[in-house]
């Protein structure tokens, strides 16, 4: 069976350090690409397509900062772990927010580096799952985390409100029939009080509308049900 290995690009001009790193990462099961200059690293992005880049900051020619900047532009999903020499202002590096995901100060234990790479890849898996979101203007419904945000503030929703909002955001602009909503949220053949729907809608409006008595998003469609008005503010989450 051909196992697909995760690709790690090691960019380091000092050969002994590069070898030290690559030996450890190979032993951990990663497929390794090597570059001893920033130029070579950038040239390898498209062909090698690394998922992680171990990037020395001080390189001849194009330095690690510039490589990192270009990686962020061209391959934003790639993880970058920056290597810095002792004495360099690491706090400043982090503060610069140059887009590195992590950094290590030389001299470091390559076993520790391998552990960091593994941790990053675990985080990536979560990060991708977290992208399962529905949005409208500054409203964001995070389906994986089961959270709702309005203008970056989390607002608690009950599971029913959550399900209703999900249905609205998946059907923006479309009139949803009362029965359709009751069946979708409370199950087929719902025999309960249909007013239940209106109560939940009212609560949902109170939570997400600026003015619940004059809702901008959840519109009443008389005699039928409700409709979500998409993008009224033009703001993004």
Q: Give the binding site for Ca ion (CB under 5 A).
A: 13, 56, 58
Question: In this complex, which beta carbon is closest to Ca ion, that of residue 58 or of residue 133?
Answer: 58
Q: How far is the CB of 170 from Ca ion (least distance, A)?
A: 50
Q: How far is the CB of 211 from Ca ion (least distance, A)?
A: 59
Q: Give the distance from CA 23 to its chain's centroid.
A: 31
For residue 51, the minimal CB distance to Ca ion (Å) is 23
Q: How far is the CB of 40 from Ca ion (least distance, A)?
A: 13
Q: Closer CB to Ca ion, residue 24 or residue 215?
A: 24
Instruction: Kindly tell me which of 56 and 161 has the beta carbon lying closer to Ca ion.
Output: 56
Closest to 101 measured CA to CA, from 127, 131, 134: 127
In the bound state with Ca ion, the residue whose beta carbon lies nearer, of 58 and 75, is 58
C-alpha 89/C-alpha 183 separation (Å) is 60
Gap between the Cα atoms of 193 and 186, Å rounded: 11
SS3 159: helix
In the bound complex, what is the minimum distance in angstroms from residue 11's beta carbon to Ca ion?
A: 9
**CB distance 142 to 162 below 8 Å:** no
Q: How far apart are CA 47 and CA 171, in angstroms?
A: 40
Other beta carbons less than 10 A from residue 111's beta carbon: 11
Nearer to Ca ion, 34 or 161 (CB): 34
150, 139 Cβ separation under 8 angstroms: yes
Q: Which is nearer to Ca ion, 25 or 59 (CB)?
A: 59
Query: Residue 107 Cβ, how far from Ca ion at the closest point, in Å?
Result: 13
Compute CA 69 distance to the chain's CA centroid, rounded to the nearest angstrom: 19
Return the residue nearest Ca ion (CB atom): 58
């Amino acid at each position: 069976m051909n196992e697909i290995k995760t690709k790690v690009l090691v960019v380091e001009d000092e050969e002994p350090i590069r070898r030290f790193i690559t030996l450890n990462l190979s032993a951990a099961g990663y497929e390794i690409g090597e570059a001893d200059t920033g130029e070579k690293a950038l040239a390898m992005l498209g062909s090698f397509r690394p998922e992680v880049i171990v990037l020395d900051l001080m390189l001849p020619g194009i330095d690690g900062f510039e490589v990192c900047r270009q990686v962020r532009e061209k391959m934003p999903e790639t993880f970058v772990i920056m290597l810095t020499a002792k004495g360099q202002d690491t706090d400043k590096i982090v503060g610069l927010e140059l887009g590195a995901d992590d950094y290590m100060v030389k001299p470091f234990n390559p076993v520790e580096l391998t552990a960091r790479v593994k941790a990053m890849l675990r985080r990536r898996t979560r990060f991708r799952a977290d992208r399962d979101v529905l949005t409208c203007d500054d409203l964001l419904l995070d389906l994986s985390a089961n959270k709702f945000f309005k203008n970056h503030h989390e607002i608690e929703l009950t599971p029913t409100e959550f399900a209703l909002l999900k249905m609205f955001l998946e059907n923006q602009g479309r009139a949803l029939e009362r029965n359709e909503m009751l069946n979708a949220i409370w199950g087929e053949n719902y025999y309960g009080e249909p007013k239940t729907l209106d109560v939940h809608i009212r609560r949902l409006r109170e939570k997400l509308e600026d003015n619940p008595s004059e809702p901008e998003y959840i519109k009443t469609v008389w005699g039928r049900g409700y409709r979500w008005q998409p993008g009224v503010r033009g703001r993004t989450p």
